[in-house]
């Protein structure tokens, strides 16, 4: 299969959202997602406390996702993105302040930073997809979702390479130990500045307009459970496998396999390249596999991606799993976005996005909180095995549901 860049005729607002996705990929997914957990580990957190700290982010993301969707429907997706972007900067700036406090205040500040950062990202992320959907013609939306995720992955690739080098570079420049918390704190200040730059395209978006699909004064209808239940169940179970490795994969390579930060940054960067290519392949694969079925097949790819790290305790299988997890997640997410956004009317998209992100956050919170204790008791690979079991059950459940729906449709047509 030849991989081609999707040809998308996009509006000004869509271009701004795509640019913002690229910039947030650099600062948030690339630099921030690598340096934040490594910085916390250098504050002396053990696996149990690290797991609790890690779970606070997804818990906040889950808690605020539904509210973000509801407010996006009422106040407008642009306002909610700007609110999330502004608070995100504050949250990112709080974590390196742990260098200035002592005793229990270190934990208080680090936990507060994680809660605020993840809650703000929930407001921003939940309303990005409905905004892009609204700014793109229906026949071009799947390609737009692919570009959105590919650019996020491209930014994350560059950000991961930068993150691996930042502690050493800033440590030498500021005369700090390159593997100490001070050098990592300096890198986090740099990532907070990147959040400011990433927010600028969102400021230029056109003001929100009331949806024409719902007259003024008409009560807001919730999407039906026939739509929501499959989205919620597969969203939670597929993301559970992804969460097991995304939340603990870098810690496993750092603490369990003793890889240097530069090597981990390289592994993550290679994974981001895979994620970008997978996102670009999503529109063609989705047309071939059909909506719904494409999400099910991508869920099985998530399961397979976890197998190497689960079976072999070596840096090479760990790196391979990280690369495959990021790629399969990018493919899965693009297909899930197309499936969910096309299933509902325009004024329901923010709510559906919020509900989906609630399921994602629940998966990450559950695996993060329980994962820390499981790692301490049994080791990292048992946690990855649990992720395989959960994602496999989700893929099997969705396969059953799609088969049942096809049988019901065939019965209706024959009668």
Question: What is d(CA 271, CA 311) in angstroms, rounded to the nearest whole number?
Answer: 20
The H-or-E segment that residue 188 falls in is: helix 181-203
Is residue 6 within 8 Å of residue 277, measured between CB atoms?
A: no
Phi-psi region of 379 (alpha: psi -120 to 50; beta: other; left: phi over 0): left
Rounded Cα distance between 387 and 381, Å, is: 10
CATH number at residue 368: 1.20.1250.20
Q: Is residue 3 part of a domain?
A: no
Query: pTM (2 decimals)?
Result: 0.76
3-state helix, strand, coil in the chain (%, to 5): 85, 0, 15
| Chain mean position to CA 219 | 32
Contact 333, 281 (CB under 8 A): no
Which of 2, 216, 191 shows the shortest CA–CA distance to 89? 191
In a domain, 217, yes or no: no
Domain total in the chain:
1
Token look-up 């989700």 returns 394
- CB neighbours of residue 106 within 10 Å: 19
Residue 184 lies in a domain: yes
Residue 183's pLDDT is what?
A: 92
pLDDT given at position 97? 94
- Residues composing the chain: 415
Query: Cβ neighbours of residue 266 under 8 Å, at least 6 residues apart?
Result: 161, 164
Domain coverage including residue 200: 12-206+225-409
Q: Is residue 318 part of a domain?
A: yes
**Residue 7 belongs to a domain:** no
**Does residue 337 lie within any of the structural domains?**
yes
Which pLDDT score is estimated for 121?
94
Give the single-character DSSP code of 98: G
Q: From residue 193, how far is each of 16, 43, 88, 168, 189 by CA, in Å?
A: 19, 22, 11, 19, 7
Distance CA 353, CA 343 (A): 11
pLDDT of residue 160: 78
How many Å apart are CA 140 and CA 215, to the nearest integer? 26
Beta strands in 149-239 (DSSP E): none
**29 found inside a domain:** yes
pLDDT of residue 334: 83
| 207 phi, psi to nearest 5 deg | -60, 155
| Predicted confidence pLDDT, tens digits, the chain (415 residues) | 455 555 556 788 999 999 999 999 999 988 998 899 989 988 888 877 887 888 788 788 888 888 888 888 888 889 999 999 999 999 999 999 998 988 889 999 999 999 999 999 989 988 998 899 888 887 788 888 888 888 988 888 888 788 888 888 988 898 888 888 899 999 999 999 999 999 999 999 988 665 544 444 444 555 566 667 777 788 888 888 888 887 788 778 877 787 777 788 778 778 878 888 888 888 888 777 777 778 888 888 888 988 888 888 788 888 888 888 888 888 888 888 877 777 766 667 777 888 888 888 788 878 877 777 887 788 888 888 888 899 888 888 888 887 776 766 666 666 5
Is residue 216, in this structure, part of any structural domain at all?
no
pLDDT at 267: 82
């Amino acid at each position: 299969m030849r991989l081609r860049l999707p040809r998308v005729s996009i509006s000004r607002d869509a271009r701004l959202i795509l640019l913002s996705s690229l910039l947030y990929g650099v600062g948030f997914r690339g630099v921030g997602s690598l340096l934040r957990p490594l910085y916390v580990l250098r504050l002396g957190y053990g696996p149990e406390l690290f797991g609790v700290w890690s779970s606070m982010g997804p818990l906040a993301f889950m808690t605020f996702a539904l509210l973000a969707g509801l407010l996006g429907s009422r106040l407008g997706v642009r306002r909610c993105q700007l609110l999330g972007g502004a608070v995100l900067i504050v949250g990112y700036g709080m974590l390196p302040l742990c260098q200035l406090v002592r005793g229990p205040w270190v934990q208080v500040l680090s936990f507060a930073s994680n809660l605020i950062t993840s809650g703000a990202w929930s407001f921003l992320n939940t309303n990005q997809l409905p905004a892009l959907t609204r700014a793109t013609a229906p026949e071009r939306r799947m390609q737009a979702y692919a570009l959105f995720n590919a650019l996020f992955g491209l930014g994350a690739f560059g950000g991961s390479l930068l993150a691996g080098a930042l502690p050493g570079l800033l440590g030498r420049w500021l005369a700090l130990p390159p593997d100490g918390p001070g050098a990592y704190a300096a890198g986090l200040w740099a990532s907070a500045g990147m959040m400011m730059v990433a927010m600028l395209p969102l400021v230029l978006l056109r003001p929100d307009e009331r949806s024409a699909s719902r007259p003024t004064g008409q009560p807001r209808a919730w999407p039906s459970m026939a739509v929501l239940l499959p989205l919620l169940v597969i969203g939670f179970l597929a993301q559970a496998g992804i969460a097991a490795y995304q939340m603990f994969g870098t810690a496993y390579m750092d603490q369990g396999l003793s890889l240097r930060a530069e090597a981990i940054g390289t592994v993550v960067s290679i994974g981001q390249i895979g994620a970008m290519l997978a996102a670009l392949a999503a529109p063609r694969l989705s047309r071939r596999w059909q909506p719904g079925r494409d999400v099910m097949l991508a869920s099985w790819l998530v399961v397979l991606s976890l197998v190497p790290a689960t079976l072999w305790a070596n840096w090479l299988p760990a790196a391979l799993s990280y690369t495959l997890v990021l790629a399969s997640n990018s493919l899965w997410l693009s297909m899930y976005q197309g499936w969910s956004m096309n299933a509902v009317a325009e004024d329901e998209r923010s709510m559906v996005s919020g509900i989906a992100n609630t399921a994602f956050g629940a998966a990450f919170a559950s695996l993060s909180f329980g994962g820390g204790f499981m790692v301490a008791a049994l080791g990292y690979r048992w946690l990855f095995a649990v992720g395989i079991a959960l994602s496999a059950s989700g893929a099997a459940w969705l396969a059953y549901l799609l088969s049942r729906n096809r049988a019901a449709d065939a019965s209706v047509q024959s009668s």
